[in-house]
Amino acid sequence: MLHSVINHSTDLKRLWDEGLEIEIIGGFLLVHHVPYVNKNKEVKYGILVSTLNLAGNVTVRPETHVIHFKGDNPCQKDGSVIEAIQHDNSRKDLGNKIVINHSFSNKPAGGYSDYYEKVTRYIDIISAPAKSLDDTVTEKTFNFILSNDPESVFNYPDTNSGRAEINSISQKLENLKIAIIGVGGTGSYILDFVAKTCVKEIHLYDGDIFLQHNAFRAPGAPSVEELKKRKSKADYLNGIYSKMHRGIISHDGYLDSSNVEELTRMDFVFTCFDEGEVKKSLLAILEKNKIPFIDVGIGLEKNENQLLGIIRVTTSTESKRNHVKNRIPLSDDNDNEYSTNIQIAELNALNAALAVIKWKKLCGFYQDLEKEHCTVYSINVSQLLNEDIAA
C-alpha cells in the first residue's frame, strides 16, 4: 500500500526521493526523524503526523493545515517554545498505535497545495533551531521505512476514521467475525454499513437469486446486464463490497442442519429473514452457544391506499434473552404484508441502521446508556420506543 500510494502521488514521491522517512498507517502520513530542540536545548527527533486525503491511491489537496507531532514541544535555540505554531498540547491516541503529544497550526494563504508543501513547511519551522545548533542535523536520512501496518481488511486506507480521529474507537470492531443471514432488503443494507468497518470477516448466507425486484430495495443500482447474470444475492453483493473489504465470504444456499454449526464460530449474527420455524431452531443454536445476535423485522399493512406499520430491532445477549420469544415471530405468518415482499428501500435502510447502531453500542463504539434490547419505530406517528432494558 505504501509503495502504491507513493508511486501514484507526486507529492509523496518527492518526499520519498529527497530521503524523508515517510510511512502510511491507518489513513495517516507519518514523517519520522524530524529534528527539533527541546526545552533543555538538546537536539531530539520526533514524528510529524498528518491526516491523509486520498482519492483511491492518489493524494489530493490536504483538507486541513493542522499537523500532529509525537515528541516534546519543539523549541527555539534558547529553549523557549515555538509559540507561532501552537495549537493543542494534549496527548491523543489516534489509533493504530499512533500516539501524538502536540498539534500545530501554520496556515498559508489559501492553505497547502499538497503534502510536500505541508510537510516541508512544518519541518522548516520545527527543525531550523536544531540545524542552527548542529549543521550535521537533517531529516533526510534515506532510511526508507517499509510499512509495518498489519494487513488491512480494506483494499485502501480508511481515511475517514483518520480524518475524524476515531481510529482508536473503530479498532474496537477489529478481529470480529460477523454473519448476516438473509441479504435481501434489510440484510443488504446491514452489509453496506458493516463492510465500512474493520471487522475481520463478514459471512453472507442467502440461497436466493438477485432478481430485478431486489434491485429496488437494495443499495446501489445494478445494470440490466448484471441482472441477466442471475447471481445469488450473496455472490452479487460480495462482488460489490469486496472491492472495499477483503474479508467478505458468501455462502450459496440456505442455512440448514448441514451447515448451521458454522455459526458457532461467529462473534455476532444478524438474522434478516422471515421464515419463523427456521428462525426458531437457528436462534436456539445461537443461544445455546452464547452467541449474541440481532433480529430485524418490518410489519406493514395497507390502510386507505397508504402503508403503515412498524420497524423492529430485537437484540439478544448473555445479559438478556428472556424477551426473545415475545418479540420475534417464530412461526410463519402469511397475513403479514411484509411476507408478500412489500419492502421499501428507506425502511430497509432504517431498519439496518438501527440494528448496526445497536451492534456498535454492544462493541463499545457508541455510548449505551439505555441498554435496550428491543427498539420499535412506528411509521405513522414517527415514534421510537426502547423496551426490554437489560439490568
Which of these, 207, 211, 197, 206, lies nearest to 241 by C-alpha position? 197
Kindly compute the dihedral angle of the four CA atoms of residues 351, 357, 359, 362, in this order, to the nearest 10 degrees.
-140
Cα–chain-centroid distance for residue 89? 28
Residue 165 has a CB neighbour count (10 Å cut-off) of 18
- The number of helix segments (H) and strand segments (E) in the chain equals 12, 18
Q: Which three-class secondary structure state does DSSP give residue 155? A: coil
What span, in angstroms and rounded, lies between the C-alpha atoms of 197 and 11? 29
Beta bridge partners of 194: none
- Listed in sequence order, the residues at least 6 apart from 335 whose beta carbon sits closer than 8 Å to its beta carbon are none
Taking a C-beta distance cutoff of 8 angstroms, is the pair 188, 218 a contact? yes
pLDDT for position 338: 42
The pLDDT of residue 344 is 93
Interatomic CA distance for residues 183 and 343, integer angstroms: 13
Name the helix (H) or strand (E) containing 14. Answer: helix 10-17
Q: Residue 239's pLDDT is what?
A: 95
Asked if 79 and 92 count as a contact pair (C-beta separation under 8 A), the reply is no
Distance in angstroms between the alpha carbons of the first and the last residue of the chain = 46
For 289, other C-beta atoms within 10 Å of its C-beta total 12
CA-based nearest residue to 185, from 346, 328, 332, 357: 346
**How far apart are alpha carbons 117 and 113 in whole angstroms?**
7
Q: Are 125 and 108 in contact (CB under 8 A)?
A: no
- Do residues 25 and 161 lie in contact, with contact meaning Cβ atoms separated by under 8 Å? no
**Closest Cα partner for 171 from 102, 93, 267, 103?**
93
Can you tell me the distance from the alpha carbon of 74 to that of 32, in angstroms, rounded to the nearest whole number? Answer: 15
Q: How high is the pLDDT of residue 148?
A: 45
Q: How far apart are CA 42 and CA 71, in angstroms?
A: 13
Category of 155 on φ-ψ map: left (φ > 0), alpha (ψ -120 to 50) or beta: alpha
With beta carbons less than 8 A apart as the criterion, state whether 59 and 114 touch: yes
Rounded distance between C-alpha atoms, residue 67 and residue 74, angstroms = 13
Query: Tens of pLDDT along the chain (391 residues)?
Result: 566 787 789 999 899 889 999 998 888 999 999 999 999 999 999 999 999 999 988 999 999 999 999 999 999 999 999 999 999 999 999 988 899 999 999 999 999 999 999 999 999 999 999 999 999 999 999 887 655 445 679 887 787 887 787 888 999 999 999 999 999 899 999 999 999 999 999 999 998 999 999 999 999 999 999 999 999 999 999 999 999 999 999 997 888 777 888 999 999 999 999 887 889 989 999 999 999 999 999 988 888 999 999 999 999 999 999 999 999 988 775 554 444 557 899 999 999 999 999 999 999 999 999 999 999 999 999 999 999 999 7
Positive or negative, the CA dihedral 36, 39, 42, 47 is negative
Which of 325, 314, 321, 390 is CA-nearest to residue 355? Answer: 314
Cell of 165: 480521529
CA angle 169, 171, 177 (to 5 degrees): 130
User: CA 195 → CA 163, 177, 201, 302, 352, distances in Å?
Assistant: 19, 12, 9, 34, 13
Q: Are 291 and 298 in contact (CB under 8 A)?
A: no
